[in-house]
Structure 1
Amino acid sequence: MATTRAALTTQACLRARPQLQDLRVNHRLELSQFDYELPPELIAQTPAPERTGSRLLHLDAAGALHDRQFTHLPELLKPNDLLVFNDTRVIKARLRGHKESGGKVEALIESITQPRVALAHVRASKSPRPGSVLIMAEAFNVKVLGRQGELFELEFPERVLDLLDRYGSTPLPPYITHAAQPQDEERYQTVYAREPGAVAAPTAGLHFDTAMLARLAAQGIGESFVTLHVGAGTFQPVRVENLDEHIMHSEHYSVSAQTLQQIRATRAAGGRVIAVGTTSVRALESAAQHAGQDSSAEVSPIEGDTRLFITPGYRFQIIDALITNFHLPQSTLLMLISALAGMDPIRRAYAHAIQSRYRFFSYGDAMFIETPQP
């Protein structure tokens, strides 16, 4: 898709902010630096009874840790702060079926490239060949057009989204052991989701309900939206020890002109830009990188595909704080929050969370991370 002109320039939308020392100057980042031991029983298998019922670990700008409840979040925000949410909507991306020969097949849609064509991860005893047919849900046939790396290009007889809505199931993360249930269709979706295309939820947003959003608005906290369609690649492990060799998965994002204008107004009013979830961070920072290549003085929407890999030493251009869940060991998301807060503070926070029995991952508890003081 063509990328529009952008103007997220330092003069227009960004506020100068202190920068942390670039950690790559003195040493190479290695995968083992982002490992930790997590007791399996701390992996949340179901959401809290209420969306706002989770705990909240606050890592403040001085590096201190505070145990709170998510309902305390409004007390940590100030008028003129801006919350930036990812409004992507999780699609029913998992399909089960069989080959014409009878062998079982499971497909997880990664992205929809045309109305009737999608790229998918396909699990089968033997990889299907180009030209072969897969019978899905005993309801329709899918033709295998070919492969793009680890992904299979599949042609559907109707619009992909329509068939997924009728026959697909919610694609829960691999660490959730139960099959998707009706409750998951609601709770593995944010209350503000509106742009279909994700195969994994932007999980920090799962903690917000409509009452919380109304309370924040009444307090003078702004809200804005970006879209980043989260792919299954978010769960893929990093397979190289030297992080300079890692190839980041691609995800499609868009940042509207309205959001860019709200960021500029927030800066002018002295407020903070607070990303709700690492996916919002990637969308905003990808937009900032793209805008650095465009000297336009007008504020225009930004859209494209991003492979932005944020690790310690990265220079953040937009965000001042982050609301996020707890992330997998050795994951790119753990590296992102370590870039924001510092590696040692995140290690301390995670050790504290484990000792204090916080619940981890998609259905787990949350963190509020403020950028360190200079």
Structure 2
Amino acid sequence: MTFEPLVSDFYNYESLLTGQEQAALLALRGYLEAEVRPIIGGYWDRAEFPLQVVPKLAELGVLGYAWDETRAFPNSAMFRGFVAYELSRIDASVSTFVGVQNGLTCGSIAVCGSAEQRAEWLPRLASGEVIGSFGLTEPQSGSDSAQGLRTTATRDGDNWVLNGTKRWIGNATFADVTIIWARDAADNSVLGFIVPTSTPGFSTEKIEGKISLRAVQNADITLENVVVPESLRLANAHSFKDTAKVLRLTRAEVAWSAVGVAAGAYEAAVAYSKERVQFGRPIGSHQLVQDLLAKSLGNITASLGMVVRASEMQDRDELRDEHSALAKAFCTSRMRETVAWCRELFGGNGIVLDYEVARFFADAEALYSYEGTREMNALIVGRAITGHAAFA
């Protein structure tokens, strides 16, 4: 297959990737187009996750590729961003699964774990042998996770006893391990634990009735005297600042995913504009339709420019919290605007799953909110601009 830029990559940012990265991205694209796109609408409608895609994603090197213990070849943050973009332009639920597995689960272990923990867990997560989830958000704390964390960890000899609840935890219903963040009952520090979901006292309940990311299996988690050995405490997690190191990386990737969702809606709209005939000619020949497409492409192109630059900074270890926050806030806002324009182009057909734009339109709402709301990310940027925190 010849590598050609997508219609949504108007300035051909993909040409910045190395030849090896382009080949890997092309292999992923071929699989997603042939095997995932045809089935994902049904899974989304039934609120089920297609677990059969996990082994192939692992075979393609999509899982765990950011870390030295797992990646098959040297790859850039921009490549990893384009993987998120590629996944999201097909389906945001599959992209979210990969983001939880890679960025949040692998990321927590890679950033906060010991060398021994990295060696034990990262290859197993990258192979798909182990599926992970990330337990930070709680029923009473979302945006205020840094201060509102209520789950406790109490030292008991060589073990820790965890008690508390978590909410909105992606992959949790079928995960093998969950990274649980809790406060040390002794000194109030924030600790992280690799918790096997089979541990007595660990239970999950799927959140039903979602209108967004329906294929993602979000769950409430209850921890009742869950005993975890000291060997499963993340060795280098001592405060919320360590948790934030993980979120900084994943927040930038969510920005990439947001651009991918916008691109998926745009590509669907371009195809529909050429096929749908009204008043005797394709609607793509109408001025107002072309205006919607041009505005959508402008949003996507501007957002791609931002995330490409953020990835370049990440590779040079220059990416700060405010950089990730601005990318997440801006790109998800432009995504929300873009999917609305694309859905508008479909008229009544845009609200049924027969047309993919409906799924992108609905899924955009979840990406707009998770990994930090637009308002919270704006305040992170505002603090960097003014030197004053205005979170409360």
Task: Give the TM-score, by structure 2 length.
Answer: 0.25
Task: Give the TM-score, by structure 1 length.
Answer: 0.26
Indicate the structure with greater helix content.
Answer: 2
Indicate the structure with greater strand content.
Answer: 1
Structure scoring higher RCO (CA < 8 A, sep ≥ 6) equals 1
